[in-house]
A and B are shown apart, each in its own frame.
Chain A
Amino acid sequence: MSRSAVEEIFVDVLGLEPPVDWDAVRYQQVEGWDSLGHMTLVGELEDRFGILLETDHIVDMSSFDKALEILRGYGVDGV
């Protein structure tokens, strides 16, 4: 799996318009990434990578970069 797969999910779920400044993609800092959007995002990432995130990781996933870090912890390669 590549980083672009994660980017694709964020773009689709949050409705991000390219070009995307990924450093600025943070929870409640971009439109659509509210609590409801967050759980949709989590579900899409889980479906795509075949994982089930633990509660602490769901709460900690506060930015795009943090999401990549968490996914690496679940053995998702190349992100």
Chain B
Amino acid sequence: MSGPEALPLAGRVALVSGAVEGIGRAACTWLAARGAHVVVAGRIADDRLEARVAELQQAGGSAEGLTMDVTDPESVQAAFQSVFRTHRRLDVLVANAGALGDARLGMITEELLHTTLEANLAGAIRQVQGAARLMQRNRSGSIVVVGSIMGLRGNVGQVPYASAKAGLVGLVRSAAKELAPAGVRVNLVAPGFIETRLTADLDDAVRSERVASIGMGRAGTPEDVAQVIGFLASDASGYVTGQTIGVDGGMVL
């Protein structure tokens, strides 16, 4: 099963946060190609957001843009209100928005701590709560939260980021238990070293070190992660909930 016809999502409404670049962008492409109407959510309404929507539409997909800053509770509520007013339903949430913020112990400022936890953990909780409201109404739905291998294994210089991503494990396990009776599934994808804007700025030495730690000998692509997100979003994983799936090529930290 590899073609677009294999996992039909026609008629489903999918909201993807952090959708402008990287994993979120690839997830949008995957979902739209399977027939889902994709709500492409970005932090700010800019040309890049419009370009992503146009990109999906030009490929024959159905899509719309939506502004959602996951660090702003009112923005998140407004976003889900918008989805409700427009579609009256939500079938898939890909909670992908996040932000890196590296600092070694002793150099972690309160601002860095706050922004990292807000963007990666509190923002995800807000999205899951909003999605749960809409999905419970239809007694179905799939929530896919995008975490990180750093949240499972930890890493030097990433205490706030890894802590926030580790928190997503608790979020997913708890939400999965709470929402299972309503037919709503919640799962976590934990990517390893993926070629995205977040990793583009690493110097060559760090990049080489990271790749050397990957059993499969290469960095992952956003598409590698999008395929797993798509699987979890689809009915092919209809009996899977509360799980964490690593997409890391056998990375060892």
Query: Interface on A for B, CB 8 Å cutoff?
Result: 39, 43, 46-47, 52, 54-55
- Residues of B with C-beta under 8 A to A54: 77, 81
Residues 79-137 (chain B) with a chain A CB within 8 angstroms: 80-81, 84-85, 129, 133-134, 136-137
Q: Which residues of B contact A (CB under 8 A)?
A: 77, 80-81, 84-85, 129, 133-134, 136-137
Per DSSP, chain A at the interface is: helix
Q: Which residues of A contact B77 (CB under 8 A)?
A: 54-55
A39→B136 contact, CB < 8 A: yes
What's the nearest-Cβ distance from chain A to residue B135, in Å? 11
Once the chains bind, are B81 and A52 in contact (CB under 8 Å)? yes
Whether A47 touches B129, Cβ cut-off 8 Å, given contacts A52-B81, A52-B84, A54-B77, is no
For B129, give its contact among A46, A52, A55 (CB under 8 Å): A55
Shortest beta-carbon contacts, A-B, top 4:
A52-B84, A54-B77, A52-B81, A43-B137
- A26 → chain B, closest Cβ, in Å? 23
A46 to B133, CA, bound (A): 10
Q: What's the Cα separation between A46 and B137 when bound, in Å?
A: 9
Identify 12 new A-B residue pairs, CB closer than 8 A, beyond the known A43-B136, A52-B80, A52-B133: A39-B136, A43-B137, A46-B137, A47-B137, A52-B81, A52-B84, A52-B85, A52-B134, A54-B77, A54-B81, A55-B77, A55-B129
- Nearest A residue to B80 via CB reads A52
